[in-house]
Amino acid sequence: MPSNTHILIIDDVVDNIQVAMNFLKEDNYEFSFATEGREALDLLEQSSVKFDLILLDIMMPGLGGFDVCQKLKENPLTKDIPVIFLTAKVDVDAISKGFSLGAVDYITKPFHADELLARVRMHIQLYHAKKLLQENNIALETKVKYEQVRLLTELEENQKQMIWMLTELMEATSDETGKHVRRVSEISALLAQYHPNLNDEDIDAVRFASPMHDIGKMTVPYQILHKPGRYTEEEFEQMKSHTTNAYNLLCCSDRKLMKAATIIAHEHHEKWNGKGYPRQLKGDEIHIYGRIVALADVFDALTHARCYKKNWAIEKVIDYIQDHRGTQFDPELVDIFMEHIDEFKAISEIS
């Protein structure tokens, strides 16, 4: 992380500011802080510092966190700075309002050191990556025509690198493993390869974007994500929010791979019969990329152990997929899966 990376912490409780700074000083960030919303806005307006991230308390006297966030996003000079809300309790309506105002994430208090560090690192790196992409876009417009192909290829490679970077960050805080992500990528690409209506561009999009399918889990509270037992109804609702949170995080990009990642992260828990989430899409309403990764993700998840379950025998998994043909899964994709089952089994054995 650059040594001049600067974080603004806004909280009316000085102890909370100090705790956050103590945890984050491990990464050598520079800090500014404010204990009131108006003070923070004045600081942003008058300071020459370029902030890379804002940690913003929701409940403050006077100008509250939601009002501060709205004013930040209305100001062209501050609208792109990522905002992470700090909240003492998980309130689904409040969190949804925060995302609708433009926040990128939320963290519950009291802070968990590893979670705070991981999320701050991720959003700062994503912010820097977005600025790099914007700079590349400006540079692209100034290049002569014969350089366009080279630059577009380079930009696509940057997207791939950014996707893998975000995937590695996800692994640091998620219940997923790197091998799961890579197997889902290969399974998805193979399904796309055998699909009669998809081309080489689709295959590449699915291969390189599918690792982002659970990127939204970085917005799920640490204690829920790593809970070994069954979720309560409220906890499950928070877990399900990783799909819409991922969409809110990624949807601003117009780049091919990021658009594919947005679709996949948003729709890979939809079901063919319309009983999935988050939007209860049905049949062909679900994008083919989402349908592909839905099958790939379940196949790999069932054939491998997790902290909360044992792996299933491969034949039991195959039976499950066949039994859910036309209910959970796209029937055509299940047929492709069964026709080439030995190839999919081979991928599942990668360890």
Instruction: Enumerate the active-site residues.
Output: 217
Do the beta carbons of residue 38 and residue 62 sit within 8 Å?
Answer: yes
Up-side HSE of residue 260: CA atoms within 13 Å toward CB? 24
Q: Which helix (H) or strand (E) holds 9?
A: strand 6-10
Residue found under tokens 């590695």: 168
- How far apart CA 188 and CA 261 sit, in angstroms, is 13
User: Six-digit token pair at 301?
Assistant: 């998840």
The C-alpha atoms of residue 256 and residue 286 are separated, in whole angstroms, by: 18
Query: Distance between CA 141 and CA 21 in Å, rounded?
Result: 40
How far is residue 98's CA from residue 65's CA, in Å, rounded to a whole number? 9
Counting other chains too, the contacts that 316-325 makes at CB distance below 8 Å and 24 or more residues apart are 321/295
8 A C-beta contact, residue 123 and residue 27:
no
Determine if the peptide bond prior to 278 is cis (ω within 30°): yes
Residue 8: which of 133, 127, 162, 169 has the closest Cα? 127
Enumerate the β-bridge partners of residue 166: none
